[in-house]
Structure 1
Protein backbone atom coordinates (compact mmCIF):
# COMPACT_ATOMS: atom_id res chain seq x y z
CA UNK A 1 0.00 0.00 0.00
CA UNK A 2 1.13 3.50 -0.69
CA UNK A 3 -1.60 5.37 1.18
CA UNK A 4 -3.17 5.32 4.64
CA UNK A 5 -6.49 3.43 4.86
CA UNK A 6 -9.40 5.85 4.54
CA UNK A 7 -13.19 6.01 4.87
CA UNK A 8 -13.07 5.61 8.64
CA UNK A 9 -11.55 2.12 8.59
CA UNK A 10 -8.75 3.01 11.00
CA UNK A 11 -11.16 4.76 13.32
CA UNK A 12 -13.78 1.99 13.40
CA UNK A 13 -11.74 -1.21 13.09
CA UNK A 14 -10.03 -0.96 16.52
CA UNK A 15 -13.44 -0.55 18.16
CA UNK A 16 -14.57 -3.81 16.58
CA UNK A 17 -11.50 -6.04 16.72
CA UNK A 18 -9.27 -4.30 19.27
CA UNK A 19 -6.12 -2.27 18.68
CA UNK A 20 -3.77 -5.25 18.25
CA UNK A 21 -5.86 -6.99 15.61
CA UNK A 22 -6.56 -3.70 13.83
CA UNK A 23 -2.85 -2.86 13.73
CA UNK A 24 -2.01 -6.36 12.48
CA UNK A 25 -4.55 -6.18 9.66
CA UNK A 26 -3.86 -2.56 8.71
CA UNK A 27 -0.06 -2.82 8.76
CA UNK A 28 0.28 -6.19 7.05
CA UNK A 29 -2.75 -6.11 4.74
CA UNK A 30 -2.87 -9.88 5.14
CA UNK A 31 -5.89 -11.95 4.23
CA UNK A 32 -7.71 -13.63 7.08
CA UNK A 33 -9.88 -16.71 7.20
CA UNK A 34 -13.58 -16.65 7.91
CA UNK A 35 -12.94 -18.18 11.33
CA UNK A 36 -10.38 -15.47 12.15
CA UNK A 37 -12.91 -12.84 11.10
CA UNK A 38 -15.48 -14.44 13.41
CA UNK A 39 -13.04 -14.68 16.32
CA UNK A 40 -12.21 -10.98 15.89
CA UNK A 41 -15.85 -9.96 15.75
CA UNK A 42 -15.86 -8.86 12.10
CA UNK A 43 -18.58 -11.37 11.25
CA UNK A 44 -21.14 -13.11 13.44
CA UNK A 45 -21.57 -16.34 11.51
CA UNK A 46 -19.47 -18.59 9.28
CA UNK A 47 -20.86 -21.12 6.82
CA UNK A 48 -19.11 -24.16 5.35
CA UNK A 49 -20.52 -23.92 1.84
CA UNK A 50 -22.35 -21.60 -0.51
CA UNK A 51 -25.50 -23.66 0.02
CA UNK A 52 -25.23 -23.24 3.80
CA UNK A 53 -24.56 -19.53 3.31
CA UNK A 54 -27.63 -19.11 1.10
CA UNK A 55 -29.83 -21.04 3.55
CA UNK A 56 -28.38 -19.17 6.53
CA UNK A 57 -28.89 -15.76 4.94
CA UNK A 58 -32.47 -16.68 3.96
CA UNK A 59 -33.16 -17.77 7.56
CA UNK A 60 -31.77 -14.52 8.99
CA UNK A 61 -33.73 -12.44 6.47
CA UNK A 62 -36.93 -14.32 7.36
CA UNK A 63 -36.35 -13.79 11.09
CA UNK A 64 -35.83 -10.05 10.58
CA UNK A 65 -38.78 -9.74 8.19
CA UNK A 66 -41.10 -11.14 10.87
CA UNK A 67 -40.25 -8.23 13.18
CA UNK A 68 -41.78 -4.77 13.12
CA UNK A 69 -40.13 -2.86 10.26
CA UNK A 70 -40.22 0.29 12.38
CA UNK A 71 -38.49 -1.47 15.28
CA UNK A 72 -35.87 -2.90 12.92
CA UNK A 73 -35.21 0.55 11.43
CA UNK A 74 -35.01 2.11 14.87
CA UNK A 75 -32.68 -0.58 16.19
CA UNK A 76 -30.42 -0.19 13.18
CA UNK A 77 -30.35 3.60 13.54
CA UNK A 78 -29.57 3.39 17.26
CA UNK A 79 -26.83 0.79 16.74
CA UNK A 80 -25.17 2.84 13.99
CA UNK A 81 -25.32 6.05 15.99
CA UNK A 82 -24.05 4.37 19.18
CA UNK A 83 -20.57 4.12 17.67
CA UNK A 84 -20.07 7.85 17.91
CA UNK A 85 -21.92 8.97 21.05
CA UNK A 86 -21.86 8.48 24.82
CA UNK A 87 -24.07 5.95 26.59
CA UNK A 88 -26.18 8.82 27.95
CA UNK A 89 -26.70 10.23 24.45
CA UNK A 90 -27.51 6.73 23.23
CA UNK A 91 -30.19 6.31 25.88
CA UNK A 92 -31.72 9.62 24.82
CA UNK A 93 -31.69 8.47 21.20
CA UNK A 94 -33.48 5.22 22.13
CA UNK A 95 -36.02 7.18 24.18
CA UNK A 96 -36.77 9.37 21.17
CA UNK A 97 -37.33 6.35 18.93
CA UNK A 98 -39.47 4.60 21.54
CA UNK A 99 -41.56 7.70 22.23
CA UNK A 100 -42.44 7.77 18.54
CA UNK A 101 -43.37 4.07 18.67
CA UNK A 102 -45.70 4.30 21.69
CA UNK A 103 -48.72 5.09 19.56
CA UNK A 104 -47.83 2.80 16.68
CA UNK A 105 -50.00 0.01 15.34
CA UNK A 106 -47.01 -2.34 15.63
CA UNK A 107 -46.67 -1.90 19.40
CA UNK A 108 -50.39 -2.43 19.88
CA UNK A 109 -50.24 -5.51 17.65
CA UNK A 110 -47.23 -6.92 19.52
CA UNK A 111 -49.05 -6.62 22.85
CA UNK A 112 -52.26 -8.16 21.46
CA UNK A 113 -50.36 -11.02 19.85
CA UNK A 114 -48.50 -11.71 23.08
CA UNK A 115 -51.72 -11.79 25.10
CA UNK A 116 -53.43 -13.97 22.48
CA UNK A 117 -50.36 -16.25 22.24
CA UNK A 118 -49.97 -15.79 18.48
CA UNK A 119 -47.43 -14.34 16.08
CA UNK A 120 -47.90 -10.63 15.45
CA UNK A 121 -48.73 -9.30 11.99
CA UNK A 122 -46.92 -6.00 11.67
CA UNK A 123 -47.61 -3.11 9.30
CA UNK A 124 -45.70 -2.84 6.05
CA UNK A 125 -43.63 0.22 5.23
Structure 2
Protein backbone atom coordinates (compact mmCIF):
# COMPACT_ATOMS: atom_id res chain seq x y z
CA UNK A 1 0.00 0.00 0.00
CA UNK A 2 1.14 3.54 -0.73
CA UNK A 3 1.20 6.25 1.90
CA UNK A 4 -1.94 7.73 0.34
CA UNK A 5 -3.73 4.38 0.54
CA UNK A 6 -2.71 3.91 4.17
CA UNK A 7 -4.04 7.35 5.01
CA UNK A 8 -7.37 6.51 3.38
CA UNK A 9 -7.61 3.42 5.58
CA UNK A 10 -7.33 5.40 8.83
CA UNK A 11 -10.48 5.66 10.94
CA UNK A 12 -10.58 9.24 12.21
CA UNK A 13 -13.27 11.16 14.07
CA UNK A 14 -11.81 14.67 14.40
CA UNK A 15 -9.89 14.98 11.14
CA UNK A 16 -10.74 14.86 7.45
CA UNK A 17 -8.08 13.74 4.96
CA UNK A 18 -7.93 14.09 1.21
CA UNK A 19 -5.17 13.45 -1.31
CA UNK A 20 -5.28 15.11 -4.72
CA UNK A 21 -2.36 15.31 -7.16
CA UNK A 22 0.02 14.11 -4.42
CA UNK A 23 -1.05 16.91 -2.03
CA UNK A 24 -2.54 15.78 1.29
CA UNK A 25 -5.07 18.07 2.97
CA UNK A 26 -5.45 17.53 6.71
CA UNK A 27 -8.49 19.34 8.11
CA UNK A 28 -9.25 19.63 11.82
CA UNK A 29 -13.00 19.10 11.72
CA UNK A 30 -14.60 20.35 14.93
CA UNK A 31 -16.20 23.60 13.75
CA UNK A 32 -18.80 23.65 16.54
CA UNK A 33 -15.97 24.25 19.04
CA UNK A 34 -13.80 26.28 16.63
CA UNK A 35 -11.64 23.21 15.94
CA UNK A 36 -10.24 23.24 19.47
CA UNK A 37 -7.13 21.15 19.95
CA UNK A 38 -8.45 18.40 22.22
CA UNK A 39 -6.45 15.32 23.28
CA UNK A 40 -8.43 13.37 20.64
CA UNK A 41 -7.33 15.79 17.90
CA UNK A 42 -3.73 15.54 19.10
CA UNK A 43 -3.90 11.75 19.04
CA UNK A 44 -5.29 11.65 15.51
CA UNK A 45 -2.80 14.23 14.22
CA UNK A 46 -0.05 12.12 15.77
CA UNK A 47 -1.40 9.06 13.96
CA UNK A 48 -1.38 10.84 10.59
CA UNK A 49 2.02 12.49 10.89
CA UNK A 50 3.69 9.42 12.41
CA UNK A 51 2.51 7.42 9.40
CA UNK A 52 3.91 10.07 7.05
CA UNK A 53 7.19 10.38 8.95
CA UNK A 54 7.79 6.65 9.04
CA UNK A 55 6.89 5.93 5.42
CA UNK A 56 7.63 8.79 3.01
CA UNK A 57 10.80 8.35 0.99
CA UNK A 58 12.25 5.73 3.31
CA UNK A 59 12.80 2.83 0.93
CA UNK A 60 15.89 4.19 -0.81
CA UNK A 61 17.30 6.37 1.94
CA UNK A 62 20.70 4.68 1.51
CA UNK A 63 20.70 5.22 -2.26
CA UNK A 64 20.83 1.48 -2.96
CA UNK A 65 19.75 0.48 -6.45
CA UNK A 66 18.39 -2.83 -5.14
CA UNK A 67 16.01 -1.26 -2.63
CA UNK A 68 12.38 -0.86 -3.58
CA UNK A 69 11.33 2.48 -5.01
CA UNK A 70 10.71 5.23 -2.42
CA UNK A 71 7.10 6.18 -1.74
CA UNK A 72 6.46 9.81 -2.65
CA UNK A 73 2.71 9.42 -3.23
CA UNK A 74 2.35 12.39 -0.87
CA UNK A 75 4.59 15.30 -1.86
CA UNK A 76 3.16 18.04 0.33
CA UNK A 77 0.67 18.66 3.14
CA UNK A 78 -1.85 21.45 3.70
CA UNK A 79 -2.96 21.71 7.33
CA UNK A 80 -6.18 23.66 7.92
CA UNK A 81 -9.39 23.87 9.93
CA UNK A 82 -13.00 23.30 8.94
CA UNK A 83 -15.18 26.30 8.24
CA UNK A 84 -14.30 29.98 7.98
CA UNK A 85 -14.22 30.93 11.67
CA UNK A 86 -11.17 29.05 12.90
CA UNK A 87 -8.02 27.23 11.93
CA UNK A 88 -7.62 26.00 15.50
CA UNK A 89 -8.91 28.37 18.16
CA UNK A 90 -6.65 26.92 20.83
CA UNK A 91 -6.32 24.00 23.19
CA UNK A 92 -9.46 22.47 24.64
CA UNK A 93 -9.56 24.23 28.02
CA UNK A 94 -12.31 21.98 29.35
CA UNK A 95 -10.03 18.98 28.79
CA UNK A 96 -7.08 20.73 30.48
CA UNK A 97 -8.82 22.31 33.47
CA UNK A 98 -8.41 19.41 35.88
CA UNK A 99 -5.08 17.99 34.68
CA UNK A 100 -2.42 17.42 37.30
CA UNK A 101 1.11 18.76 36.70
CA UNK A 102 2.24 15.28 35.66
CA UNK A 103 -0.70 14.88 33.27
CA UNK A 104 -0.15 18.33 31.75
CA UNK A 105 3.57 17.62 31.32
CA UNK A 106 2.78 14.43 29.43
CA UNK A 107 0.18 16.29 27.34
CA UNK A 108 2.68 19.03 26.44
CA UNK A 109 5.38 16.49 25.64
CA UNK A 110 3.11 14.51 23.31
CA UNK A 111 1.99 17.66 21.53
CA UNK A 112 5.53 19.02 21.24
CA UNK A 113 6.55 15.69 19.72
CA UNK A 114 3.75 16.10 17.16
CA UNK A 115 4.92 19.61 16.24
CA UNK A 116 8.46 18.27 15.84
CA UNK A 117 7.18 15.55 13.49
CA UNK A 118 5.43 18.23 11.42
CA UNK A 119 8.51 20.46 11.37
CA UNK A 120 10.85 17.63 10.36
CA UNK A 121 8.58 15.88 7.86
CA UNK A 122 10.35 14.96 4.59
CA UNK A 123 7.86 17.00 2.51
CA UNK A 124 6.67 20.61 2.86
CA UNK A 125 3.82 21.30 5.27
CA UNK A 126 1.92 24.58 4.88
CA UNK A 127 -0.62 25.96 7.34
CA UNK A 128 -3.73 27.46 5.71
CA UNK A 129 -4.98 29.66 8.54
CA UNK A 130 -8.63 30.68 8.26
CA UNK A 131 -9.97 32.63 11.23
CA UNK A 132 -8.59 32.07 14.72
CA UNK A 133 -5.14 30.58 15.29
CA UNK A 134 -4.78 31.10 19.01
CA UNK A 135 -2.71 29.35 21.66
CA UNK A 136 -2.19 25.78 20.59
CA UNK A 137 -3.58 26.66 17.16
CA UNK A 138 -0.91 29.28 16.61
CA UNK A 139 1.72 26.83 17.86
CA UNK A 140 0.44 24.15 15.47
CA UNK A 141 0.62 26.59 12.54
CA UNK A 142 4.15 27.64 13.47
CA UNK A 143 5.37 24.04 13.32
CA UNK A 144 4.67 24.11 9.57
CA UNK A 145 7.22 25.28 7.01
CA UNK A 146 5.29 28.49 6.41
CA UNK A 147 1.85 30.00 6.92
CA UNK A 148 -0.66 31.43 4.44
CA UNK A 149 -3.63 33.23 5.97
CA UNK A 150 -7.07 34.43 4.95
CA UNK A 151 -7.92 38.08 5.47
CA UNK A 152 -10.03 37.23 8.54
CA UNK A 153 -7.22 35.32 10.28
CA UNK A 154 -6.01 36.29 13.73
CA UNK A 155 -3.07 34.97 15.70
CA UNK A 156 -2.12 35.06 19.35
CA UNK A 157 -0.69 33.32 22.39
CA UNK A 158 -3.19 34.25 25.10
CA UNK A 159 -2.06 31.72 27.71
CA UNK A 160 -1.15 34.40 30.30
CA UNK A 161 -4.86 35.25 30.59
CA UNK A 162 -5.40 31.68 31.83
CA UNK A 163 -2.54 31.73 34.31
CA UNK A 164 -0.49 29.58 31.95
CA UNK A 165 2.35 29.85 29.46
CA UNK A 166 2.50 28.29 25.98
CA UNK A 167 3.25 24.57 26.20
CA UNK A 168 3.37 23.41 22.59
CA UNK A 169 6.35 25.40 21.31
CA UNK A 170 5.15 29.00 21.42
CA UNK A 171 8.02 30.34 23.50
CA UNK A 172 10.47 28.78 21.05
CA UNK A 173 8.99 29.17 17.57
CA UNK A 174 7.27 32.56 17.78
CA UNK A 175 10.59 34.39 18.05
CA UNK A 176 11.88 32.44 15.04
CA UNK A 177 9.03 33.92 13.00
CA UNK A 178 8.65 37.48 14.31
CA UNK A 179 11.86 38.22 16.24
CA UNK A 180 12.49 38.22 19.96
CA UNK A 181 11.00 41.61 20.87
CA UNK A 182 7.73 41.12 18.98
CA UNK A 183 7.46 37.60 20.36
CA UNK A 184 7.94 38.77 23.94
CA UNK A 185 5.29 41.47 23.47
CA UNK A 186 2.76 38.96 22.14
CA UNK A 187 3.58 36.36 24.79
CA UNK A 188 3.58 38.76 27.76
CA UNK A 189 0.42 40.64 26.82
CA UNK A 190 -1.57 37.87 25.13
CA UNK A 191 -2.41 40.38 22.39
CA UNK A 192 -3.99 39.10 19.20
CA UNK A 193 -2.76 40.29 15.83
CA UNK A 194 -4.74 40.35 12.60
CA UNK A 195 -3.67 38.92 9.26
CA UNK A 196 -2.20 42.21 8.04
CA UNK A 197 0.05 42.57 11.09
CA UNK A 198 0.96 38.88 10.96
CA UNK A 199 2.16 39.37 7.39
CA UNK A 200 4.10 42.51 8.32
CA UNK A 201 5.83 40.74 11.21
CA UNK A 202 6.65 37.68 9.10
CA UNK A 203 4.33 35.23 10.85
CA UNK A 204 2.10 34.88 7.78
CA UNK A 205 3.92 34.65 4.46
CA UNK A 206 0.88 35.62 2.36
CA UNK A 207 -2.64 36.89 3.05
CA UNK A 208 -5.47 35.88 0.71
CA UNK A 209 -8.93 37.49 0.56
CA UNK A 210 -11.01 34.41 1.44
CA UNK A 211 -10.79 30.73 2.33
CA UNK A 212 -11.22 29.47 -1.25
CA UNK A 213 -8.34 31.58 -2.55
CA UNK A 214 -6.31 30.65 0.54
CA UNK A 215 -6.59 26.95 -0.17
CA UNK A 216 -5.90 27.49 -3.86
CA UNK A 217 -2.73 29.47 -3.07
CA UNK A 218 -1.47 26.80 -0.67
CA UNK A 219 -2.09 24.04 -3.21
CA UNK A 220 -0.28 26.03 -5.91
CA UNK A 221 2.72 26.53 -3.63
CA UNK A 222 2.82 22.85 -2.67
CA UNK A 223 2.40 21.78 -6.30
CA UNK A 224 5.43 23.85 -7.23
CA UNK A 225 7.49 22.14 -4.53
CA UNK A 226 6.12 18.75 -5.63
CA UNK A 227 7.52 19.32 -9.12
CA UNK A 228 11.06 19.44 -7.74
CA UNK A 229 13.37 16.61 -6.67
CA UNK A 230 11.74 15.12 -3.55
CA UNK A 231 15.12 14.05 -2.19
CA UNK A 232 16.51 17.57 -2.65
CA UNK A 233 13.44 19.13 -1.04
CA UNK A 234 13.80 16.79 1.96
CA UNK A 235 17.51 17.60 2.22
CA UNK A 236 16.82 21.34 2.00
CA UNK A 237 14.28 21.10 4.82
CA UNK A 238 16.81 19.23 6.96
CA UNK A 239 19.70 21.63 6.31
CA UNK A 240 17.69 24.83 6.85
CA UNK A 241 16.62 23.46 10.23
CA UNK A 242 20.10 22.29 11.22
CA UNK A 243 21.89 25.54 10.35
CA UNK A 244 19.40 27.76 12.22
CA UNK A 245 21.18 27.75 15.62
CA UNK A 246 24.73 27.58 14.23
CA UNK A 247 27.34 30.34 13.82
CA UNK A 248 27.76 31.37 10.19
CA UNK A 249 30.99 29.45 9.58
CA UNK A 250 29.58 26.22 11.04
CA UNK A 251 26.36 26.62 9.08
CA UNK A 252 28.28 27.15 5.83
CA UNK A 253 30.37 24.04 6.48
CA UNK A 254 27.25 21.97 7.11
CA UNK A 255 25.64 23.32 3.94
CA UNK A 256 28.74 22.51 1.87
CA UNK A 257 28.74 18.93 3.15
CA UNK A 258 25.04 18.46 2.39
CA UNK A 259 25.56 20.03 -1.04
CA UNK A 260 28.39 17.61 -1.80
CA UNK A 261 26.32 14.64 -0.66
CA UNK A 262 23.77 15.30 -3.40
CA UNK A 263 26.37 14.82 -6.14
CA UNK A 264 26.10 11.46 -7.85
CA UNK A 265 22.67 10.81 -6.30
CA UNK A 266 19.98 9.60 -8.75
CA UNK A 267 17.84 12.74 -8.42
CA UNK A 268 20.86 14.97 -9.05
CA UNK A 269 21.91 12.99 -12.12
CA UNK A 270 18.37 13.06 -13.50
CA UNK A 271 17.83 16.74 -12.74
CA UNK A 272 21.08 17.91 -14.33
CA UNK A 273 20.58 15.63 -17.35
CA UNK A 274 17.04 16.92 -17.87
CA UNK A 275 18.28 20.51 -17.70
CA UNK A 276 21.02 19.93 -20.26
CA UNK A 277 18.67 17.97 -22.52
CA UNK A 278 15.93 20.62 -22.19
CA UNK A 279 13.27 18.18 -20.98
CA UNK A 280 11.17 17.73 -17.86
CA UNK A 281 12.92 15.76 -15.12
CA UNK A 282 11.51 12.42 -13.98
CA UNK A 283 12.95 12.19 -10.48
CA UNK A 284 13.31 8.71 -8.92
CA UNK A 285 13.18 10.30 -5.45
CA UNK A 286 16.55 9.54 -3.86
Instruction: Tell me which interval the TM-score lies in, with the shorter structure as reference length.
Output: 0.7 to 0.9
1:105 corresponds to = 266
Q: Which moved more, 1:94-103 or 1:13-22?
A: 13-22
Which structure's residues are more often helix, by fraction? 1
Q: Report SS of the residue matched to 1:46.
A: strand
TM-superposed CA distance for 1:30, in Å, is: 1.5
What is the CA deviation profile of residues 35-91 of structure 1, one whole-angstrom value per residue up to 9, with x for unaligned ones? 111111112111111110111111011101111111111111111122211122212
TM-superposed CA distance for 1:106, in Å, is: 1.1
Structure-2 separation of matches of 1:68 and 1:97: 15
What is the CA deviation profile of residues 97-120 of structure 1, one whole-angstrom value per residue up to 9, with x for unaligned ones? 222211111111111111122221
1:116 and 2:280 are equivalent in the alignment: no
TM-superposed CA distance for 1:92, in Å, is: 2.0
1:50 and 2:211 are equivalent in the alignment: yes
Structure-1 separation of matches of 2:190 and 2:229: 40
2:245 corresponds to = 84
- 1:7/1:82 CA distance change after superposition, 3 Å: farther
- 1:61/1:11 CA distance change after superposition, 3 Å: closer
- 1:40/1:77 CA distance change after superposition, 3 Å: same
Unaligned runs of 5+ in 2: 1-159
1:23 corresponds to = 184
TM-superposed CA distance for 1:9, in Å, is: 3.2
| 8 Å contact from structure 2 (residues 178, 201) kept in 1 | yes
TM-superposed CA distance for 1:7, in Å, is: 5.0
Structure-2 separation of matches of 1:63 and 1:87: 29
Q: Report SS of the residue matched to 1:95.
A: helix
- TM-score scaled by structure 1? 0.86
Which structure's residues are more often strand, by fraction? 2
Q: Which moved more, 1:18-27 or 1:44-53?
A: 18-27
Structure-2 separation of matches of 1:112 and 1:83: 32
Unaligned runs of 5+ in 1: none
2:256 corresponds to = 95
2:201 corresponds to = 40
Q: Report SS of the residue matched to 2:206.
A: coil
TM-superposed CA distance for 1:23, in Å, is: 2.1
Q: Which moved more, 1:61-70 or 1:23-32?
A: 23-32
Structure-2 separation of matches of 1:6 and 1:108: 44
